[in-house]
Structure 1
Amino acid sequence: MSGLNDEEVQERIDRGQVNILPKTPSRTISQIIKANVFNVFNGLNFILAVIVCIAGSPKNALFSMVIFTNTIIGIFQEVRSKITLEKLSVLSSIGATVMRNGYKVKVNIEEIVKDDVVLLENGDQIVADGIVIGEDTFEVDESLLTGESDPIVKKRGDKILSGSFVVAGKGYFKVTNVGSDTYVAKLANEAKKFKTINSEMQDAINKIIRTIIWLILPVGILLMSTQIIFSGKKWNEAAIAAVAGIIGMVPEGLVLLTSVTFMVGVITLSKYKTVVQELPATEVLARVNVLCLDKTGTLTEGILEVAEIKLLSNFNIDEVMATLAHAFPSKNPTQVALMNKYHNKGNVEVKKIVPFSSSRKWSGASLKGMGSWIIGAPEMILKEKYHYIREKVESEAKKGRRVLLLAHFPEENITEKLPNNVGAVALIMLEDIIRAEAPSTLKYFEHQGVEIKIISGDNPITVSAVAKRAGVKKSEKYIDARALPDDIEELSELVKEYSVFGRVTPHQKKNLVKALQYNNNTVAMTGDGVNDVLALKEADCGIAMASGSDATRAVAQLVLLDSNFSALPKVVEEGRKMINNLERVSNLYLSKTFFSLIMSIVFCIIVLPYPFEPIQLTLIGSITIGIPSFFLAISPNKEVVKKGFLRRILNISLPNALVFALFTIGAYLFSMMSGLGVMDSRTVAVMIAGGIGLIILIDVSRPFNGFKALLFLSMLTAFIAAFILPITQKIFNLKMVPFIFIVISVAIIILAAVVMPVFQVIFSKLLDRLYKK
Structure 2
Amino acid sequence: MDIKKLIDLLKRPQNEVLKELGASQSGYSGEKAAQLLEDYGPNEIQQKKRKNPFVGFVNVLINPFNLVLMIVIVVTFFSDILLPKEKDFVTFTILVVIVMISTLISFIQDERSSAASEKLLNMVSNTTAALRDGEFIEIPIDELVLGDIVRLSAGDIIPADMRVISAKDLFISQATLTGESQPIEKFVSFNDKKTDSESDYSNLCLMGTNVVSGSARAVVIRTGNNTYLGQMNRSLENTKRPNSFENSIATISRLLMRLMLIMLPIIFIINGILKGNFLDSFTFALTVAVGLTPEMLPVVLSSGLARGAINMAKHETIVKSQSSISSFGEMDVLCTDKTGTITQDNIILERYMDVTGEDDMRVLRHAYLNSYFQSGLKNLIDLAIIERAKSYNMDDLVNYYRIVDEVPFDFARRRMSVILEDGNGKRQLISKGAVEEILKICSYIDRGGIVTKLDDQTRQEAFEVYEQHNHDGLRMIAVAQKNDIPNEHEFGIKDESDMVLIGFVGFLDPPKESAKPTIESLNQHGVDVVVITGDSLGVAKKVCAKVGIDTEVTYLGKDIDAMDDTQLREVVGSCHLFAKISPVQKQRIVKALQENNHTVGFLGDGINDALALKQADVGISVDTAVDIAKESADIILLKKDLTVLEKGILEGRKTIVNMIKYLEMAVSGNFGNMISVIVASLFLPFLPLLPVHILVQNLLSDLAQTGIPFDNCDDEDLDKPRKLESGRLVKFMAVFGPLSSVFDIMSFIVLYYVLGINTPAQATAFQAFWFTFGILSQALIIFIIRAKKPFSFKNKPSTVLVAVSILSVAITVALVTTPLAYSIELAPLAPGHLSWVLGIVGLYLITTAIVKKFVWTPLD
**Does TM-score exceed 0.5, indicating one fold?**
yes
Q: In structure 1, what is the Cα distance between the partners aligned to 2:76 and 2:324?
A: 37
Q: In structure 2, what is the Cα distance between the partners aligned to 1:421 and 1:538?
A: 39
**Residue of structure 2 equivalent to 1:195:** 240
1:29 maps to 2:51 = yes
SS in 1 for 2:464: helix
**Cα distance 1:422–1:490, how it changes in 2: closer, same or farther (>3 A)?**
closer
TM-score for the superposition, normalised by structure 2: 0.68
1:95 maps to 2:130 = yes
Q: In structure 2, what is the Cα distance between the partners aligned to 1:699 and 1:741?
A: 24
Q: In structure 2, what is the Cα distance between the partners aligned to 1:119 and 1:569?
A: 38
**Structure 2 letter corresponding to 1:704:** F
**Residue of structure 2 equivalent to 1:569:** 646
**Residue of structure 2 equivalent to 1:257:** 300
**Residue of structure 1 equivalent to 2:257:** 213
Q: In structure 2, what is the Cα distance between the partners aligned to 1:400 and 1:434?
A: 12
SS in 1 for 2:275: coil
1:67-216 paired onto structure 2 within 5 Å: 67-78=103-114, 80-81=116-117, 85=121, 88=124, 90=126, 94-95=129-130, 111=146, 163-164=209-210, 193=238, 195-200=240-245, 203-216=247-260
**Residue of structure 1 equivalent to 2:744:** 661
1:439-450 paired onto structure 2 within 5 Å: 439-450=516-527
**Structure 2 letter corresponding to 1:650:** M
Q: Deviations over 1:510-538 (max 9, x none)?
A: 44333222222122233446765554444
Q: In structure 1, what is the Cα distance between the partners aligned to 2:98 and 2:235?
A: 43
**Residue of structure 2 equivalent to 1:104:** none
Q: In structure 1, what is the Cα distance between the partners aligned to 2:420 and 2:831?
A: 101
SS in 2 for 1:453: strand
User: Structure 1 residue 265: deviation in Å?
Assistant: 1.5
Any stretches of 5+ residues in structure 2 without a counterpart? 1-10, 24-41, 81-87, 135-141, 192-201, 409-414, 447-452
**Residue of structure 1 equivalent to 2:689:** 612
| 2:476/2:504 contact within 8 Å kept | no
**Residue of structure 1 equivalent to 2:793:** 704
Q: In structure 2, what is the Cα distance between the partners aligned to 1:463 and 1:181?
A: 46
User: Structure 1 residue 679: deviation in Å?
Assistant: 0.8
SS in 1 for 2:310: helix
1:382 maps to 2:445 = yes
| 1:580/1:637 contact within 8 Å kept | no
1:248 maps to 2:291 = yes
**Structure 2 letter corresponding to 1:246:** A
**Residue of structure 1 equivalent to 2:387:** 340
Q: In structure 2, what is the Cα distance between the partners aligned to 1:194 and 1:75?
A: 24
**Residue of structure 1 equivalent to 2:37:** none
**Structure 2 letter corresponding to 1:258:** L
Which residue of 553, 577, 599 maps to 1:522? 599
**Residue of structure 2 equivalent to 1:735:** 827
| 1:578/1:634 contact within 8 Å kept | no
**Cα distance 1:167–1:286, how it changes in 2: closer, same or farther (>3 A)?**
closer
| 1:319/1:348 contact within 8 Å kept | no
SS in 1 for 2:349: strand
SS in 1 for 2:335: strand
Q: Deviations over 1:162-215 (max 9, x none)?
A: 7555988x7778999999999999999996545354244x54443333222233
Any stretches of 5+ residues in structure 1 without a counterpart? 14-19, 100-106
**Residue of structure 1 equivalent to 2:195:** none
| 1:513/1:535 contact within 8 Å kept | yes
Q: In structure 2, what is the Cα distance between the partners aligned to 1:74 and 1:593?
A: 26
1:231 maps to 2:275 = yes
**Cα distance 1:315–1:395, how it changes in 2: closer, same or farther (>3 A)?**
closer
User: Structure 1 residue 659: deviation in Å?
Assistant: 1.8
| 2:160/2:223 contact within 8 Å kept | yes
Which residue of 319, 325, 350 maps to 1:276? 319
**Structure 1 letter corresponding to 2:14:** L
Q: In structure 2, what is the Cα distance between the partners aligned to 1:507 and 1:143?
A: 13
| 2:370/2:418 contact within 8 Å kept | no
| 1:308/1:429 contact within 8 Å kept | yes
Q: In structure 1, what is the Cα distance between the partners aligned to 2:766 and 2:591?
A: 59
**Residue of structure 2 equivalent to 1:44:** 68
Q: In structure 2, what is the Cα distance between the partners aligned to 1:423 and 1:490?
A: 38
1:401 maps to 2:448 = no
Q: In structure 2, what is the Cα distance between the partners aligned to 1:374 and 1:572?
A: 46
1:499-538 paired onto structure 2 within 5 Å: 499-501=576-578, 508-528=585-605, 532=609, 535-538=612-615
| 2:292/2:674 contact within 8 Å kept | yes
1:63 maps to 2:146 = no
Q: In structure 1, what is the Cα distance between the partners aligned to 2:218 and 2:796?
A: 68
**Cα distance 1:599–1:431, how it changes in 2: closer, same or farther (>3 A)?**
same
SS in 2 for 1:683: helix
Q: In structure 2, what is the Cα distance between the partners aligned to 1:6 and 1:408?
A: 42
| 2:125/2:623 contact within 8 Å kept | no
Q: Deviations over 1:480-503 (max 9, x none)?
A: 167447854333112123333456
**Residue of structure 1 equivalent to 2:773:** 688
User: Structure 1 residue 306: deviation in Å?
Assistant: 0.9
**Residue of structure 2 equivalent to 1:391:** 464
**Cα distance 1:407–1:224, how it changes in 2: closer, same or farther (>3 A)?**
closer
**Residue of structure 1 equivalent to 2:557:** 480
Q: In structure 1, what is the Cα distance between the partners aligned to 2:807 and 2:159?
A: 63
User: Structure 1 residue 250: deviation in Å?
Assistant: 1.2
**Cα distance 1:681–1:373, how it changes in 2: closer, same or farther (>3 A)?**
closer
Structure 1, 625-634 or 63-72: larger mean CA deviation:
625-634
| 2:603/2:621 contact within 8 Å kept | yes
User: Structure 1 residue 321: deviation in Å?
Assistant: 8.9
Structure 1, 542-551 or 313-322: larger mean CA deviation:
313-322
| 1:244/1:612 contact within 8 Å kept | no
Q: In structure 1, what is the Cα distance between the partners aligned to 2:126 and 2:854?
A: 61
User: Structure 1 residue 448: deviation in Å?
Assistant: 1.8
1:4 maps to 2:4 = no
SS in 2 for 1:673: coil
SS in 2 for 1:29: coil
User: Structure 1 residue 277: deviation in Å?
Assistant: 3.6
Structure 1, 597-606 or 460-469: larger mean CA deviation:
460-469
Q: Deviations over 1:588-619 (max 9, x none)?
A: 33332112211333355446433224554455
**Structure 1 letter corresponding to 2:475:** R
**Cα distance 1:539–1:26, how it changes in 2: closer, same or farther (>3 A)?**
farther
Structure 1, 221-230 or 574-583: larger mean CA deviation:
221-230
Q: In structure 1, what is the Cα distance between the partners aligned to 2:340 and 2:231?
A: 25
1:582-731 paired onto structure 2 within 5 Å: 582-606=659-683, 608-617=685-694, 620-621=697-698, 626-627=703-704, 630=707, 633-638=710-715, 639=717, 640=719, 641-642=721-722, 644=725, 645-647=728-730, 649-650=732-733, 652-670=735-753, 671-673=756-758, 677-693=762-778, 696-701=781-786, 702=790, 703-704=792-793, 708=797, 711=802, 719-727=812-820, 729-731=821-823
User: Structure 1 residue 127: deviation in Å?
Assistant: 6.4
SS in 2 for 1:521: coil
**Cα distance 1:577–1:144, how it changes in 2: closer, same or farther (>3 A)?**
same
| 1:528/1:547 contact within 8 Å kept | yes
| 2:129/2:152 contact within 8 Å kept | no
User: Structure 1 residue 688: deviation in Å?
Assistant: 3.4
- How many residues align structurally? 737
User: Structure 1 residue 249: deviation in Å?
Assistant: 1.1
Q: Deviations over 1:628-671 (max 9, x none)?
A: 66157422443234555425633653243332332233345444
| 2:685/2:759 contact within 8 Å kept | no
Structure 1, 376-385 or 575-584: larger mean CA deviation:
376-385
1:491 maps to 2:568 = yes
Q: In structure 2, what is the Cα distance between the partners aligned to 1:550 and 1:46?
A: 47
Q: In structure 2, what is the Cα distance between the partners aligned to 1:266 and 1:260?
A: 10
**Structure 1 letter corresponding to 2:384:** A
Q: In structure 1, what is the Cα distance between the partners aligned to 2:70 and 2:219?
A: 59
Q: Deviations over 1:4-39 (max 9, x none)?
A: 24379759x9xxxxxx99959968626866654432
**Cα distance 1:654–1:549, how it changes in 2: closer, same or farther (>3 A)?**
farther
